[in-house]
Amino acid sequence: MVEPTIACPSCRTEIRLTEQLAAPLLAAERRAIATREAEVAQARAALAEEVASRVGAERGRLAAEARVAAQVASAAEVGEMRAALAARDTKLAAAQAAQADAIRAERAFADKTRELDLTIETRVGQALGAARDQARRETEEAMKLKVAEKEQVIAGMQRTIEELKRRSEQGSQQLQGEVLELDLEAQLAARFPHDLVEPVGRGLTGADLIQRVRGPGGMAAGVILWEVKRTKAWNAEWLVKLRGDQRALGAQVGLIVSEALPKGVESFELIDGVWVAPPRLALPLATALRATLVDLAKAGAVRDGQATKMELVYDYLTGPRFRHRVEAIVEKFRAMEDDLKSERARTLKAWARREMQIQGVIEATMGMYGDLEGIAGKALGELKGLDAPAPDGQDG
């Protein structure tokens, strides 16, 4: 940036003006101007006093001469005296003209002084304005760089979050299925403590859970084979697979628990010899199926030779009596389910409200930390937990 200059009237040189020298230079110039004004005022007062003194003395002398001349001189002498008086008046007029010239010179000097002050103020203001503009441009450039850096950090965090979300979604179906399977296993074990509920080992061919039903006195009443699915769409191939697993293990009942049901099925249904039900009806259906297996096992003990146990089980499970029993059980569970849904809705609403409040606090804290970091820079240090927040998980 080119620094402004001013011309010095006394030394006839240019003075380079900077923002640091402007104020002292202006003060010095004003003191010099004040000194000159005082000198001019003194000179003007002295000149006026001298002119007044001379005019008074000359007038007194002329008056005295006129009185003397009037007494002793003739008319010719009076004319000469008048000529002399006229000459004295001419001198007086010249003195007054000189005083007027001095006043005009003083006024011109004052005008020059004010013009110089205005020039100095203008150039100082221009210099300060240019300095402020330069500082503002530099600050804006620095802020643009910081904003760009923050945007890059935010973009990197968003990419990380998207990647983590994608990986989470990839494994979510398998993980959710395992969670549903473990939950069902725990519920069956708690509801039927006398039965043997065991999972099929990972990597082995077969269903997910095997429930070995035990009647009174530890009597083996049958086997229920469970298949747990947690997907968005129903697949008819599951029926074929479970029937094969059922035959391989000799299970009397095969049951698929799935969130996605076949078209037209709203609660539970026997499809191609396999029971299909949603997770909310798994326990009611298991209760009915187990009771049927126990009853048939008791009846089979006294009806040897009439029909095979498998035929009895099939006839009973496909008959209206079993369906009526299951529907009665399901009605009770639906009432319980409605209560549970209401309670769950209230709980989720409270959780969502708290989650939004917590998220708002976290975002406000991160924003405040970002502002402080923008001011203090690296001196603020790193705050653990605010660098790259992990994506929130949701309970399935």
Q: Is residue 295 part of a domain?
A: yes
Looking at the structure, do residues 38 and 104 belong to the same domain, yes or no? Answer: yes
- C-alpha–C-alpha distance, residues 294 and 85, integer Å: 160
Residue 131 and residue 9 in one domain: yes
Same domain, 131 and 204: no
Residue appearing with tokens 């298991």: 286
- The percent of residues in the chain predicted with pLDDT above 70, rounded, is 73
| 332 within a domain of the structure (yes/no) | no
Mean pLDDT within 49-65: 81
DSSP 8-state class, residue 3: P
Count of domains observed in the chain: 2
pLDDT at residue 165, as a whole number: 66
Do 133 and 13 belong to one domain? yes
Residue holding tokens 């126990």? 294
Chain center to CA of 253? 57
Q: Residue 347 and residue 325: Cα distance in Å, rounded? A: 33
Q: Which helix (DSSP H) or strand (DSSP E) does residue 257 occupy? A: strand 253-258
Q: Which of 273, 295, 318 is the last residue of a domain?
A: 318
Residue 395 CA to residue 309 CA, distance in Å, equals: 43
What pLDDT does residue 395 have? 44
- pLDDT at res. 396: 39
Mean pLDDT of the chain: 76
Q: Which amino acid, one-letter code, is at 273? A: G
- 19 in the same domain as 126: yes
- pLDDT, residue 393, reads 44
Same structural domain, 9 and 127: yes
Q: Helices 320-376 and 309-317 meet at what angle, rounded to 10?
A: 70
Nearest in space to 176 (alpha carbons), one of 236, 231, 234, 239 = 231
Classify residue 247: in a domain, yes or no: yes
What is the per-residue DSSP string for 182-248? HHHHHHHHHH-TTSEEEEPPTTSSS-SEEEEEE-GGG-EEEEEEEEEE--SS--THHHHHHHHHHHH
| Whether 131 and 219 share a structural domain | no
d(CA 155, CA 110): 66
pLDDT at res. 4: 52
Of 302, 318, 334, the last residue of a domain is 318
Question: Cβ of 109: how many Cβ atoms within 10 Å?
Answer: 15
Do 197 and 310 lie in a common domain?
yes
Separation of alpha carbons 315 and 322, rounded Å: 10
Domain boundary among 318, 347, 369: 318
Does a structural domain hold residue 361?
A: no
Judge if 126 and 17 occupy the same domain. yes
Give the tokens for residue 139: 């600050």
pTM of the model: 0.38
Residue 113 contacts residue 33 (beta carbons within 8 Å)? yes
- Check: CB of residue 255 under 8 Å from CB of residue 202: no
**Same structural domain, 208 and 273:** yes
Reported as a single tens digit per residue, the pLDDT across 142-191 is: 777 777 777 777 777 777 777 766 666 555 555 566 777 888 888 888 88
Q: What is the pLDDT of residues 292-349, one digit of tens each?
A: 888 888 776 655 545 566 666 667 776 666 766 776 777 777 778 788 888 888 888 8
How do strand 269-271 and strand 196-199 relate by DSSP bridges? unpaired
Q: Is residue 202 part of a domain?
A: yes
Q: Does 280 reside within a domain? A: yes
325 located within any domain: no
Q: How long is the chain?
A: 396
**Closest by alpha carbon to 149, among 373, 391, 364?**
373
- Residue 60 forms part of a structural domain: yes
Same structural domain, 25 and 126: yes
Q: Which residue segment(s) compose the domain that 288 sits in?
A: 192-318
Q: Do 133 and 196 sit in the same domain of this protein?
A: no
